[in-house]
Amino acid sequence: MSKVVVVTSGKGGVGKTTSTASIGAALAKGGKRVCVVDFDVGLRNLDLVMGAERRVVYDLINVAQGDARLAQALIRDKRIDTLSLLAASQTRDKDALTEQGVERVIGELRGMFDWILCDSPAGIERGALLAMRFADEAVVVTNPEVSSVRDSDRIIGLLDSKTLRAEQGLRMEKQLLLTRFDAGRASRGEMLSVADVLDILSVPLLGIIPESEDILRASNLGAPITMNGSTSQAGRAYEEASRRLMGETIPMLIPGEKKSFLNRILGRRAA
């Protein structure tokens, strides 16, 4: 059975597109049929991160409006044949995307892929609402800073009220992906700790992605960090996040700490 996951946040620049590409590539490497969909109409970047910017002919708007078939718009990755991209339009306005069109595209994708990852634009406007509208679950991406966490809290409220699942009285599963985490800065009080973020948002933790130049380098090369053979801590963190998304139980290690987050919490409670 296919699963539609929206990768979302309230604040821009937190790593949604990088996370969509990295998790999507990790899932596809495991043999899953994966499509990553860019909903950031007018400001598309997922094609760049995926290294497919020169291959975009038709986009999400073309398919949603019936100007092109889905098969014409899908771009199959040349490195992992189970991974595909549906790009956003770079020239159209978000108003060109309709709920009916998105519903039809998502329905078609469900029949072709195991996982559909929807890369949401930042904010709470039309594009973001349509990206989450037909999702089965959500990955909420946030940085360990107050403004990012506050905006993520707003997004969590929308996931529980504006999605089709919410309107049907069904639970919208949400997991938190904490990006750009620096254990040293957190210990000095220069950014929120993992425990602080979890206390505020009360959402299960999918993964902790450390601040890393390897992620920026991978994005600039058009090869997601889970695809390019990186052995960095950030690459491993994304690999483990993708496995947790599939339901595996993997101990959570806070970057810079030797004990897993689970063991640390259990030890603190025992004390």
User: How do residues 183-206 score in pLDDT, each as one tens digit?
Assistant: 889 988 899 999 999 999 999 999
Looking at residue 68, its pLDDT comes to 96
Residue with tokens 């039309």: 126
The domain spans of the chain are 3-270
Residue with tokens 């002919």: 57
Judge whether residue 242 has pLDDT over 50. Answer: yes
Looking at residue 11, its pLDDT comes to 86
List pLDDT tens digits, range 87-110. 998 877 777 889 999 999 999 999
Judge whether residue 221 has pLDDT over 70. Answer: yes
CATH class of 3-270: alpha beta
Q: Which two tokens stand for residue 248?
A: 């595996």
Looking at residue 14, its pLDDT comes to 93
Q: Taking residues 211-225, report their average pLDDT.
A: 91
Per-residue pLDDT band for 111 (boundaries 50, 70, 90) equals: very high
Q: What phi and psi values does residue 212 have, to the nearest 5 degrees?
A: -155, 135
Q: What phi and psi values does residue 59 have, to the nearest 5 degrees?
A: -135, -175
Q: Could you give the angle at the alpha carbon of 211 between the alpha carbons of 205 and 215, nearest 5°? A: 100
Instruction: Calculate the dihedral angle through the C-alpha atoms of 234, 3, 194, 212, rounding to the nearest 10 degrees.
Output: 20
Say what the pTM is.
Answer: 0.91
Judge whether residue 12 has pLDDT over 90. Answer: no
Residues paired with residue 6 on neighbouring β-strands, in sequence order? 118, 138
Q: What is the DSSP string of the chain?
A: --EEEEEE-SSTTSSHHHHHHHHHHHHHHTT--EEEEE--TTS--HHHHTT-GGG-SS-HHHHHTTSS-HHHH-EE-SS-TTEEEEPPPSSS-GGG--HHHHHHHHHHHHTT-SEEEEEPPSSSSHHHHHHHHT-SEEEEEE-SSHHHHHHHHHHHHHHTTSSHHHHTT---EEEEEEEEE-HHHHHTTSS--HHHHHHHH---EEEEEEP-HHHHHHHHHT--TTTTT--SHHHHHHHHHHHHHTT-----B-TT-SSBHHHHHHHHHH-
List pLDDT tens digits, range 122-131. 888 888 999 9
* Spatial distance between the Cα atoms of 164 and 146, rounded to a whole number of angstroms: 29
Looking at residue 268, its pLDDT comes to 43
